Structure 1
């Protein structure tokens, strides 16, 4: 009994080892299978998956001449196969998923008389199956913008729901659409297309709930049940305004060395790119002529201090993702009348302080010399006691009391003091002799 069992087993093992070594009609690794499908799909809907043999070098390699010598092998469990067709080195299957999930589907191509041989090509794909409806929200506007998901305010938007139903699974269903435009507006329609106009700028999220309902008739039953499927969809959009202009608020006449502030109000939606430059004439700014500045609001302040008088023009360019605009602001700069006085005042103060210091030092020196002269006259002059009313004494008193008021300058006063008092008497004098 044992030899009878081992004989078939050995034969199977031998075939398993030998068959993969059988020569294939084409070299493996030179071809590949391109897979296409019309999924994802809802449960119960039919999905079509196709596989086509192609060369890896984009067509320069010739395909096998006889398609009947090859066979496609599919693995699609647990999807239910509803149809299959093969022609011209391509194969198509139709499957249905009854439960939601992501299901892998694989396929490979072998020689028709040797399905255990090495595959000529193989591939796989993942098919998503969901309980809800499948579709997309599409928003269009007559004016196309260069920025993704950007649209204009105060311009009609077309919002449409596109149901994905390649197998006409919902051909007998009726639909109800509940719209939420994100700005507080709600709408219920039976049409998958609506038109809406946003009046303000900002980022909004459009939400849509779709309800599909139809009557399903079971085989052999007179009355079927009502089947319902739903789906929730959403998309974001950014509403912006075109840059209609720039309002400039600021002086048109100013003096040199005076700080000037100009306020710019942009009639459009940020973010903006601002560029400005002072020119002798009001001319548009060329590309690269000034350094751009990013502005995150609709207002901006320019500050500048003019050092030279003359006629100037602020050339301003601003742009957002939608459009751009130019604006100009003329300004006349006059020479400042305050600036010389600002420099003259400290100079005059300095000169006054210096003159006061010189007069103080002069009067101090003069008073010191006068005291020395008086002391000398009192101690050493023999005539001071005998003739107190001498002309020199009167002249000295007059010079002391009235001199500072009669003389024009301290130098003249000092000169007179020197002339009247002269030098101090020497410390020793010759002894006078008297004859009796």
Structure 2
């Protein structure tokens, strides 16, 4: 009889064990477990981990009103548990790491009366424990820049060390700070905040060494001095504001001549230069510019004008700190030297004109030379026996007679002989006596 009743009794006991866990099974997947910690920490310092049970759909579900309905289970070994507290739907533990390393901590939630039942929610995180000091090197400036890690040169910087000690583990320690500003300057202070003004541009690395000492009581040696150190660094991009652009170049030029304009930037590189050529001096719009990266503080801009007129170079430069605009007007005149398409016809015409002028000059010189040779001939003397001169002499007398005769009377006589039918050159004048 007892053997026959045992299966029924075991079945009833199994159902009674599942009854407390029924709400948890129903709630599985409807909640999630969120973990928050103040890790990392140095060895010997306490770390706090808080687990909170919340609705998985951001609070649309209502949590049970019974605060003792769930139980939180923690696994934190090898961390040493110092304290554990539980509140409504949350649990907090405080643990200490005696050795450095990364240690996983897991937690899950079950029904309060059924620790072996299916968890409602579970979560896991890793705590970091260091043998060195934990903190951050913070650098600020009155002028904030939109680029991370970029700061203005020749402007005061505030450098501060923020110790991460939420458990007040170093409340009795004294600190010493050794600063290396990366430009050859070293400084030792007892204050965690210093002010520094850089006069250079470029990238520098600030290094900080922190030493903490305090007195601690030990079981074997009584009181002793305990020391912890930490090394920290930060990279700074020191930039100089772009104060303007100096433009040097011609203001007048002829067409089809290559123009070069030199741009000198009053700021720290690298920069992005953008220029646009228009009839009016207006800031270039997006898409109208011709961007060009510039690694230095100078840039040569070249352009060749094909049409005369008044133009304006609209120049925009920008570095990681600021940007600026500049304009340069230039007047383009028609070129006295035409393009190559007109050069050959013009050269041909000029060559033909020069050849014609040289031909006419040489021809005139040859004609004058012939006249001079005829004038210098020696003629034989004329006699009574040979009254007729040679043919050449007669021609010479007709053409050049006026220049060879000695007196005007001789000239008139020659004219009468050769032009007998012509009237006399003068009329006789009659004289009357009264």
Aligned position for 2:21: 23
Partner of 2:232: 233
2:144 aligned with 1:144: yes
**Could you say what secondary structure the match of 1:187 adopts?**
strand
* C-alpha distance in structure 2 between counterparts of 1:104 and 1:346, whole Å: 92
TM superposition shift of 1:295: 2.1
Write the distance in 1 (CA, Å) between the matches of 2:46 and 2:126: 15
TM-score by length of 1: 0.73
| SS of aligned partner of 1:24 | helix
Alignment of 1:161 with 2:161, yes or no, is yes
* Cα-to-partner distance string for 1:367-416 (whole Å, 9 max, x where unaligned): xxxxxxxxxxxxxxxxxxxxxxxxxxxxxxxxxxxxxxxxxxxxxxxxxx
The answer as to whether partners of 1:20 and 1:118 remain within 8 angstroms in 2 is: no
Using the TM superposition, give the Cα deviation of residue 342 of structure 1 relative to its aligned residue in structure 2, in angstroms. Answer: 4.6
Q: Distance in 2 between matches of 1:78 and 1:280?
A: 77
Partner-residue secondary structure (3-state), 1:67: coil
1:293 equivalent in structure 2: 292
> Structure 1 pair 309/220, CA: closer, same or farther in 2 (3 Å)?
closer
Query: What secondary structure is seen at the aligned counterpart in 1 of 2:200?
Result: coil
Give 1:89's aligned residue: 89
- 1:172 alignment partner, SS class: coil
> 3-state SS of the aligned residue for 1:23?
helix
- Measured after TM superposition, the shift of residue 32 of structure 1 is 1.3
1:155 is displaced (CA, Å) by 0.6
- Cα distance in 1 between the residues matched to 2:14 and 2:147: 61
Q: Would the alpha carbon gap of residues 45 and 337 (structure 1) be closer, same or farther in structure 2, given more than 3 Å must change? A: same
Per-residue deviation, 1:167 = 0.4
Partner of 1:190: 190
For residues 330 and 232 of structure 1, the distance between their equivalents in structure 2, rounded to whole angstroms, comes to: 56
The whole-number CA distance in structure 1 between the counterparts of 2:240 and 2:344 is: 52
Answering whether residue 256 of structure 2 is matched by residue 243 of structure 1, we say no
Q: CA deviation at 1:28?
A: 1.5
TM-score by length of 2: 0.74
Residue 204 of structure 1 aligns with which residue?
204
Summarize deviations over 1:217-248 as a string: whole Å, max 9, x none. 23697x51110000011111111111100011
Mapped partners of 1:59, 1:137: distance in 2: 38
The alpha carbon displacement at 1:61 in A equals 1.1
Quickly say closer, same or farther: Cα 1:193–1:85, change in 2 above 3 A: same
Does structure 1 conserve the Cα–Cα contact (< 8 Å) formed by 2:272 and 2:291?
Answer: yes
Distance 1:116 1:20 in 2: 10
Cα RMSD after superposing both structures? 2.8
Deviations 1:157-178 (A, max 9, x none): 1111100000000001010111
Instruction: Give the deviation of 1:343 after TM superposition.
Output: 4.6
The residue that corresponds to 1:120 in the other structure is: 120
Give the Å deviation of 1:81: 0.7
3-state SS in 2 of match to 1:39? coil
Whether the 8 Å CA contact 1:315–1:328 is kept in 2: the answer is yes
**TM-superposition CA deviations, 1:122-169 (whole Å, max 9, x none):** 111100001000000111111111111111111111111100000000
Could you list the runs of 5+ residues in structure 2 that have no partner in the other structure?
1-9, 357-434
Most deviating of 111-120 and 340-349: 340-349
Q: How does 1:240-279 map to 2 (within 5 A)?
A: 240-279=239-278
CA distance in 1, matches of 2:90, 2:135: 29
Farther off after superposition, 265-274 or 15-24: 15-24
Alignment of 1:105 onto 2:105: yes
Structure 1 residue 195: Cα displacement: 0.8
**1:347 is the counterpart of 2:345:** no
Residue aligning to 1:218: 218
Kept in 1: contact 2:20–2:113 (CA 8 A): no
Matches of 1:353 and 1:255, distance apart in 2: 28
1:274: Cα distance to partner? Answer: 1.6
Tell me the equivalent position of 2:178: 178
Q: CA contact under 8 A between 1:272 and 1:320: conserved in structure 2?
A: yes
Q: Number of residues paired by the alignment?
A: 344
Structural mapping, 1:375-414, within 5 Å:
none
* 8 Å contact kept, 2:21–2:114: no
Given the superposition, is the C-alpha separation of residues 178 and 100 from structure 1 closer, same or farther in structure 2, using an over 3 Å criterion?
same
Q: Which residue of 1 aligns with 2:368?
A: none
Checking the alignment, whether the CA contact within 8 Å between 1:24 and 1:118 is kept in structure 2 is no
Q: Are the counterparts in 2 of residues 22 and 117 from structure 1 also a CA contact under 8 Å? A: no
2:21 and 2:111 in contact (8 A); partners too: no
Contact 1:40 1:134 in 2 (8 A): yes
Structure 1: tracts of 5 or more residues without a match: 1-11, 356-436
Q: Which residue of 1 aligns with 2:429?
A: none
Separation (CA, whole Å) in 2 of partners of 1:60 and 1:337: 85
Q: Which residue of 1 aligns with 2:304?
A: 305
